[in-house]
Amino acid sequence: MKTCACAWRIGEVLLRSFLVCKRKLNSLPRQTQTIEQQGVNMPVYILRESFSNKFKIQRADWTIEAAAEKLRSAGLSSLTIFEVLEVEQAVLCEFILKRHVSQCESTSDCADGCFLLDPVEVLTIVRDVRRMFAKFDTVREAARQCMNTASTASLVEPTQEDRELIRRIQTNRDERDYLAFECESLENQLKQRIGSASGIRGLVSWKTQTSRIYSESIFRNSDPQLYQELLEQYYCLDTKAWRSHRPDQYKDIQTTYFSPRTCRYFKLLPAD
């Protein structure tokens, strides 16, 4: 029994280190495409217990009108909506809010996932995060418009602000690379712990699965006439034009001509 308890403890320590590293990595600046994939306008609620200093940050797909009923059905009727942020990047917004809260010296964590903080400080954090995302949307739209403008031969003279932005980008990229390295190292330690098993009970899954990968070479060898016809029509296969014009044919070929790929998929299980 002592051996099992020790093994469980080692697994928990490794997983905790991995999660901390993963959260840090996810909080760093990323390319716009990655950020946009995190969700569309899912509200992030800051909930308050009665009129106390006890708060909870909750990302949920509730409408504001239905939130009170959702809280009651979840057994959280003592919580009321204090503030709501609606942004495209809801996952990132929730994380940034929690990180700002944890950085406040006067913050106290509770066992139920709530935190104790003065309401004025909570409002300040919400205001700052809301401004952060508003600025992000503004400069992203400006950058998109610039992308559609043909560049000239002229160069902009550098300013001190430009140099500071470059320095911060490089610092964040270096930190991102380091955290990616540390995450991979921690993940490999967990995989070593798991060995040939299918995971760590209640914490991690690492199961062998077989997936179907479309093979253009198999399609070309199996039906060269159809392959040539499609190639002449679309110039290259697996294009947006082919997918949109002939979705049924595209799906049929993708699922008919494939090669099986077997590998193990590593997945962190949701906390209870």
Average pLDDT over residues 14-36: 51
| Edge-to-edge strands, sheet with 204-214 | 199-200, 204-214, 258-268
Decide: 264 and 206 in contact? Cβ < 8 Å.
Answer: yes
Give the model confidence (pLDDT) of 154-212 as tens digits: 999 999 999 999 999 999 999 999 999 999 999 999 999 999 999 999 999 999 988 77
| 168 Cβ neighbours under 8 A, 6+ residues apart | none
| 114 Cβ neighbours under 8 A, 6+ residues apart | 49, 54, 55, 56
What pLDDT shows up at residue 33?
34
Q: How much is the mean pLDDT over the chain? A: 81
What pLDDT shows up at residue 126?
94
User: Between 235 and 191, whose confidence is greater?
Assistant: 191
Give the model confidence (pLDDT) of 97-132 as tens digits: 999 998 887 778 776 678 898 999 999 999 999 999
What pLDDT shows up at residue 162?
95
What pLDDT shows up at residue 13?
55
